[in-house]
Structure 1
Amino acid sequence: MLIKNDPKVIRAWCFYDWANSVHALVIVTAIFPIYFGATAVTKDPDLVNFWGFELQNSVVFSYAVSAAFLIIALTSPLFSAIADYSGRKKLFMKFFCYLGAINCALLFFFTKENYISSTFYFIFSLVGWAGSIVFYNSFLPEIVTEDRYDAVSARGFSMGYVGSVILLIFNLTMVLKPEWYGITDDSLPPRIAFLSVGSWWAGFAQYTFANLPEIASEKKAEGNWLFNGFRQLKHVMGQLQNMPILKRFLMAYFCYNMGVQTVMYLATLFGDKELHLDSGSLIAVLLVIQLVAILGAWLFAKCSAKLGNFKALIIAVVIWIGICLGAFFVQTGSQFYVLAFIVGLVMGGIQALSRSTYAKLLPVNTNDTASFFSFYDVCDKISTVIGTFAFGVVIQLTGSMRYSVLVIAAVFVVGLIVLMRIITLQKQKKAFISL
């Protein structure tokens, strides 16, 4: 029987954040968007020819992110339910980890001539990253007790930020000072960065895979695992109908996460296309964001301990609304950097706090953590699909990212209203939970 709060197991779990977070920073946020915009363009500096369609590169990037998360949203519930029945969550986590890492490495071959296939490498690197996170998150309530959810979740995110910063610093020196490494080809540093992400991710994940236990399932799978998976998802959905606070939290999370993920994935493009900041400055400010996010994750863990999870989340969402409104009016690089600092402060906090809040709301002693976290993941992925797709559509229709930012501000407002409704519901039912 697994003993919870084992320091070695917790360290192994947190270490996967160290391993995989380099993808979110180096590939998705910092270097790949800039390299994509510079490499795949045609005659117009902002246009790419994608299978005969002339589109802005920011639109193609937005749609690529949407496609990746749509794939995961459609497949992860099934995989998660099967993993719960088979007791092989770690096996599925490994599969998606290697899928993502290999496709990151394949981006080393990204040139103007093969940018379409490279776009698909990017998509499947995202699929691998997001797919592995589903199973990674589902381990949290099984390896620690509820009183440590916030702290351990924040620790994982903090380790991820530290690891990604270390690799980004190395990649940043290579991009800005290629002569230090004897590199004369301008396209080589970013391509080496993509290869380094795949190697870092798969390499450091070995510590997690070696020390994170495989949780044996207590369920008896009858017949084909495929049908057992669907039956389990139906069972979890039925449970959600009788858990009003958890259901409302998922609604709130769906809304505000749509804004958080869209800002995270497309902030670099905003600075590049709307404010015309140079790539070196953009990557440097993203580095600062990661460092500030470590502080943010810790501050919001402390805030939740004092005020409660929902009130801490409300504070974070209010700040995000202010960020979106500020982005609409920002005109200078200095103003963008101030906003980026604030983004870093709430980025780590809202992600870590959302994960631990959901874990606290799960039924006591449930054996269906992977299936429950698949619902959490579906909310995450579908909200990301809708957010990034809507962002791309508004850019395509208006030619400006600023109006897209206003749409994102609106979904944050909806999320805020639902969170406030949860607190009201708790008071009405006099059923406060330990949040």
Structure 2
Amino acid sequence: MSTVTQGGPDLPQERRVVTEIPGPRSRELLARKQAAVPDGIGTTLPVFVTHAGGGVVVDADGNSLIDFGSGIAVTGVGNANPRVAERVRKQVGDFTHTCFMVTPYESYVEVCENLNRLTPGDHEKRTFLVNTGAEAVENAIKVARHATGRQAVVVFDHAYHGRTLLTMTLTAKNLPYKHRFGPFAPEVYRVPLAYPFRWPSGPENCAEEAAAQAIDMINKQIGAENVAALLIEPIAGEGGFIEPAPGFLPRMAEFAKANGIVFIADEVQTGFARTGDLFACEREGVVPDIVTTAKGIAGGLPLAAVTGRAELMDKVHVGGLGGTYGGNPLACEAALAVLESIEQDDLVGRARRIESVMLPRLRAMAEQHPMIGDVRGRGAMIAIELVKPGTKEPDPEATGRVLARCHAEGLLALTAGTYGNVLRFLPPLVIPDELLEEGLNILEKALGED
């Protein structure tokens, strides 16, 4: 058994299942939740957490689960990271809020300076801070529309961008995100994504054909001269960890540049070392005009950012951007600690190490289990797509069964995918190797029982 300095104080880094999952105390709390919280707030695994850190979460019944979720890619540096805890603790004693738009503070500026430095491209940039990924995406669209004087926004199939009115519209999947919540925002148009596993003519043709189709649709149905922004996730998150075929992202970025369209990379789930690069679009040398970030930025505190070319960002009039809580001082201190941890602890390298462990194991499982149709992903953002053996027909029922077995054995994992048939793995970047391997052993056993 090992301990971890990136979690709570000496939190044992071990899987420990002492009750059924969820246990009696969690079930009591779940009954309270059901009486107090609307059913629309779902729960993947109703164990109520009391401690977390490194690669484990500990529940109210004393079970210690291996964490392959990171709060949906949020706690990459670990829960209760000592640097985060120390800086936040100090800031709580100084002040918790002033509203940056009323009386500013240095930590907000420092976070923005770091993001201007770290995001792709050496051009002059500006950053402002908000609370959530959806808010960041919505503000990026505001900037693009204001700067270009255009209205249309182009998004991609399988995309997820949030749950607000505009970001629901930008999101592709109906259930659970859009169902009966319309009418939706106008001037949003959807084009194909280069999805190698499901491209009709095969992965070798995917990038070229998908880009050609997307560009043709934009030109014919919208008119490139009417498009303010082209918005894309470098790896589609909720859509199923779809990594667009190589060449697709650069081609779409070139098209945007040639037509005066603002190219926005939604790095909310992929950012901050998650994919083995600081930002996922770096892998193909793509330099977006605007980058949106959140999730892994502040170790679990609510913070998001919009970083873009200075000439775009500075076009918005004074007062046109902002919000009461955006760039809260506690969250800013947490973000500074996260960035320090990523750089000093080489978490980019650590993400690549996780990839080097997970992908070979999962590919070997795919050889043994025909229900695994595809293994994909980068860094610590890895997925398997489950299908009915011998076909590409999605099998969400089998996906649910495998997930339930993992949960019962003390492995916290998540699903994703337009068809509900993807198991996605987002371990904390600080997870010990032995827990990573043990989690994969549990998954392998769960697959073998189907």
Give the structure, 1 or 2, with the largest relative contact order (CA under 8 Å, sep 6 or more).
1
The structure with the largest helix share of the pair is 1
TM-score (ref. length: structure 1): 0.25
TM-score (ref. length: structure 2): 0.25
The structure with the largest strand share of the pair is 2
